[in-house]
Every structure is written in C-alpha cells, then in structure tokens.
Structure 1
Amino acid sequence: MPHPLSSTSDPSVFRIGVMTMDVEGQDSEAFSALVRDGVERFKQTIPAEHRLETEIIAFNGPHLTPGAGSYSPLDFFQIAFAEKAERNIQFLLVVTEVDLTASTRAYTLALPSQLTNIAILSTKRLDPGFWGEGNNHDIAARRLSALLLHSFGKLVNLPPSSDPDNAMHPLERVEDLDRMERLDEKQWARVDRVLPREAHERRTRGARLPFILSTLLRDAPEIVRALIRANPFKLVMSLPTMVAAGLSVIIVLLFSAETWDVASAVSIGQVSLFALVSVLAALFVLYRAFALDAVMSRDRYLAETTVVTISVTLLSLAITLLLLFAGFGLLMYLGIVSVFPGKLMETWPTVDPAVRTLDHVKLSLFLASMGILAGSLGGRSDSRDLVRGVLFIDEES
C-alpha cells in the first residue's frame, strides 16, 4: 500500500505534507484537533486553481530530550529530512506541541529551511491560554493556519510584505498571526511560477553520479544563494568551543622549540599539503558529528533536494573552516613578527635560525593546521549550531 502523498499521485500537483510530532503526549487529542482545524483553515486560504495538495501525516513517538526547557529544531529536522525523502513530499511542515529553541531569543514559533523545503512549527504559544488568558481553540487554530501559510511562503522564497494583514509580514509577536491570514493575487501568481523550481521534485534510482553532477549544475544559482544566506563569516562566530580549543593548542605550540624546528626543516609544499589534509579532516569530523547523510527512500530513490542540501552544507562548512584557518594563520603570523623575541628565533631551531619571512609563513601555516585539527576534535558540539545556521532562516520569531 503506498504512502500518503506518494509518487503515485498526480505529478502535476505539488504536495504539502503537515507532519504532527506529539513529543510529550500530555494532551494528544487536543493537539490533534488543533492541527486538523488549522490545516483545514490553511487549505481554505489556497485558491482552488492552484496545484497544491495538503494532507496531515502523523509521526508518533519521537524520543527527544529538551535543553533548558525547549527542544532543538535540528532534532525534528533530522526525522523530517528522512521522512520527506521516503514519502516523496515536495514541502514538509512539521508541527509539534513543544517549545523550540531560538538562536537569539527565548523561543521561536517557526523555523523554515528554504534549502530543504522543511519547516518546523510550534503550537506551544498559539493559544491565549498559554499567556494567562482563557483557552480559545478557535484563535489557536487561526494562528496555526497563518503560521503554516507564512512558513510555506518562506519555503517558496516569497519576499516580506509591509502589509500587516499579509501572511508574509515580518512575524514579531504571536498576536501578529491574528491578522496574517492571506496572500494576495500577485503572490499566488509568483508561487505558481516558482513551484517547479522550488519544489526540487526530480529523483533518480540509478546513475547517481550523472544525476548529482547535473543537479549541481542546474541548481548552482540556488546553491550560491544558500551559501550567501548562510554567511560563513557569521558561522565562524558560532564556533566558540572550536576556536577556544584551537587557540589553546597553537599558543602552547608557538612557545615550543620543536615547533620552530618544523618551520626550519619542512618545505612550503609540505606544510601546504599538511594544511589541506588538516582542513579536510576537520571538515569530515564536523560533518559526521551532525550525521546529515545522503538520505534515500527504501526504494533507493535519491532526491534533488538531498543533493542540494548535502552540497550546501559541505561547502558552507568548508568555507567556514578555511576562514577559521586563515584567522588562526594571520593571528600567529602577527604574533611571531610583532611580539616573539628575535633571540629565540635564532637559538631555538636546531637546523637553521628561523628568522626569514618564509620561516614565519611556514610556522603560521603549521600552527593554523594544528589549531583546525585540535578545534574540530575539541569543538564537535559546535557543529549543531553551525549546521543550524546553514539550514534554517534564523530571523523567525
């Protein structure tokens, strides 16, 4: 028996799956009723002539652990990423009844990922009863419908609207959802235009290498946009543990005579090769720490979305590591030429005095490589924040 929303459906229809994840199960019936009513209202906002089909999917029993009272959106994302590939759904909106952690705020209502066409939504704060007022199922359902429409608009890359009654108005407070109930005709026309591109619906069962290469070429502009949106310069700031671990190692090595022997003895080619291997090893460690694999369905289909997501994640991590490597190297070089005693440069190395600019460059590259290696091993916990910055649009409230 095929899954709901499986590939046996009309290929001209784009599918929106609303997956419920009842984590704590404290009032499952009320949560299910809220989602059903919210989705029905959401369906009514979609004009009949548009090629969108919406269906609720239940995913029971995810075993997640909260941190500081909230749950990590990445935990839901990992489940959703696999389910989206298995069910062949173009857009997946995951709805849970628990609070979601935010990067800069106390909580978040929704975190959409344009890269993967997955959004994680929370109903925790939608009911006025949460804020000390009387419980109101109708208001909560209307807010959920608006949040679903807002998140779907983010997935198809609709621009923000200055109209507070529009679903794409910037979402600052829960009460804003009371007005954000519609998209206008121009926005729906844009949705129709971009759906074939934004849905990433292509799949393959065989000849995966040609499929991967063609996908990278076809989706190159989107991959570049995703890299720019992830902003590797900003991602470096989400690696405090890795930076601290790397700096602690290279500062100790800087004041080691054996390290200066390396600077004197090795060639620039050798230290450059060591630097390349170090960055690749750190990339592997950080990527595997999150374990975002190339998910395929049980019938061995590989989806275009999966290829794009893996590519952007790896490229973002690689550029971030290269920036960190450059920062370590520049910091060490400045430290060597500005504050390190010249007498030690002459007397520590047992091969030749390390007083030339080339020696300082080689030493800086070697120290930066060691910093990247040590940081990737000591700061693996940072990888979740790093991947979150790549996958999610973080301006949501």
Structure 2
Amino acid sequence: MTSISNVQSSILASLGSWRGWSAGGAARWTPEAPSSSLLTNKAIMECEQAEPFARTAVVGDRPVPVFGRPDVLDKPVENLSAGQVEVVARFISHSDGRVYLRLKADAGWVSTRSVEDLAECALSAVEEEASFEPEKFRTWPLKSPARDCLPALEEAEVKEVVVKASEEAAAASEEAAEESDLDDGAASLPDDEPGGDEEPEEEEGEEGMEDVLDEEEPQPQGEAATSPSKGGVKRTTTRKFRILSGRCSILSKPGAAQLRIPGQRSLQKGETFLADGVFWAPAEQRAYLRMTRGLGWICERSKTDLWRLAVARLTTRKAPVSKKMAKAVAFRGGDTGGVIRLKQQDLVKNRRGKIVSRRASEASKKKSNEGFRAWTAAVKRARDELGVSGFAVVKKGTPLYDKAQEIYKASSAPKQ
C-alpha cells in the first residue's frame, strides 16, 4: 500500500507541475491567461464581422468606455485610463461609422472615436504605425444638406415635440402631400456623396419655376425656425423632401436608439414629406428632420450605411421645362433639368428678340457678312465690265444682274 500511495503522489506531483495540480489535490485546475488566438476566436464569436487585428492602441487623456459588445448604445462595463492597451480583433461598423477594437484583456470592446462626438478621436495608433480606421472612416464631419436649408433645433425644442397618433398623422401626411404636390420632382444631393444618393441641388430658374412651400431664402444654421415677414407676422420655413431608397422609419424622437425600434411607421421610396427644422447629433454625425404638424422625425442618412443619404430635398418645379421654353429658362439663369446643355453664357438674344445660341449667332453673322461683301464686289465688277455708270437697278433678268450673278458664283465656287 505504501508503494501505491507513493506512486499516486508522484503522479499528482507531475500533473501539478504540468497543469497546475497540487500534490494534495486541494487546488484543482488553475487556468492560465487566455492566449491572443483564443481571444480572437472569442471576439469573432461575439461579432461575426470581426477580423483578427493584433495591435497596440494608445488611450488619450480622457477615459474611454468599454462595452460588452461592439455597440456604443450599450451600457459601459468599465473605463480605460490613459496608457497603452493590446487589441486582438477589429470590427468596422458601417451603420454607425465607428471602428471597434477587442481588448486583449478580457474586458470587452472600445470605440476608436469619442462617444460624445464622432469627429473626435479617442484611441490612436502607436507612432509610425498605420491608423486603425480606413480612410473612409476619417472624413469627419459629414456634410448635411438639410442643415443648409432648414433652421437648426436645440435640445430643448426637440423634447417639446409630441408625435401624433397613427391615424391622425397619416391623414395629416396625406393632406400635406396634396397641398404641396411636386409632380416629377427630382431629389437634389451634395457633390461629395455616393451615387444614387447624391446629386448637386438644382438651381431655381425664373421661367416655369414656382416654390410651392416657401419663397424665402434658406436660413443659416442655428437660427430660429421662424422668420419675420410683412406686417410683423412670423412664418415657418418649410421644405419638402423625398425618400431616396428603401424605407425610412418615422421616429418619435431623434436618436440612433429610435432607429432600432421595430414595428414603426415608415415612408416608402419615392414618398415625400414636409420638414420645418433639423436637429444635429454630433455623437452620430446624423441630422434628424422634424416633420411638420408633429408627425415625427426622419433620419437624413440610412440606418445601415452612415455615408448614404436616405432623403433629399426636392426641386421646386411643378412640371419639367419644355423644349420650347428651355432656352428662355437657361438665358435667365434657371435650370432646365437636362433638356438642353446650353448655359446662360452660351445664349444671346438676336435683333428680332429671339434667344439663340451665341456660337451659332456669331457663325451666322460671319457667314452673312462674307456673303454681302462678295455680292457687293461682284456687282461692282459687273458694272465696270459692262460700262454702266450712274444709277442702275440690279434686277433679275437684266444684263447687270446676270453678269453680277455669274461673277459671284465664280468667286464663291470652291477652289480645286
């Protein structure tokens, strides 16, 4: 028995030295710190779109919150202080425009951008190393076309908005659409946005143009939602927008959390709505448009891709410009909607008051002047050859006319 117990003790001692077992058996398995590959696999299990990314990150002076999963809307589990941390995985989120890093220390995920302002950097790479973020994720702040044409709203004004009931809101939406229907209107987008969602905003011409919403100029950002008019009465700046693609949820209040609520009423592609204010969320780099009559809020950008616009302002033309009026509209500096390519500087008004192409007009004048000079020279030469002096009528059938015509045709004939 003694020999058997000695053998057991030696086996336990060897196991203890190999895997952390003690000879007495009191302390069982003591796991070691997880390896980088194990944490990488764990990160991929937490987020399927994550990729291995072994790097060292530098935390700035401000504390950086750590989340249980790659989502800044989650409750932080702890905060990182200034210093360097090791990361094992990376997740690039196109929906909120952030890059998330999985910490090697079994804590969670951190965002490379500030939670309060997406344009501020919270984590940076070690010197002489490439950035954690792709180039597309460093183009901040994003441009908002709605902020250029609608008055900005403050936080206090946002809280006062109350969304109407579904039936009442739907009825009001239909009524608003009937009052300001823009048949065949085209949405306008900024130059720096991707295709399908962005085209330059069309200019308003005088011919065939009518603003069915408001004729006042867009107010600068930060001004109140009302502007003085004649008689001291204030009127609201209202603009009409169209849904570009997919569906846009009608939110009860602005915020990324509202975009994730299922079962909300929504507007389909091509539908229009009226907005009288815009709220800018710096933490999301999104603009939220306040619909008129308390119908709710519409997010300006897609909830699945931060760089894709979901709505765009409509042009104010009721009907497309006809070919007959296209030159008149372009001559006044208006937009023809692609009917003609001639601009204001390419057109001129002739002696009869007709608007014609400047290039064609100059060519016609040059041709006419050359023809008049050639005919005058032919008549003068014919008079000399026939010995005509004094006043003579140049009329068809007369010898002078026939001789002048012969000389003119000979001078105008192409030289071989």
Q: Which TM-score band (shorter chain)?
A: under 0.3
Q: Please, what TM-score do these two structures have when normalized by structure 1? A: 0.25
Pair member with larger Rg: 2
* Bigger helix fraction: 1
* Bigger strand fraction: 2
Q: Please, what TM-score do these two structures have when normalized by structure 2? A: 0.24
| Greater relative CO (CA pairs within 8 A, separation 6+) | 1
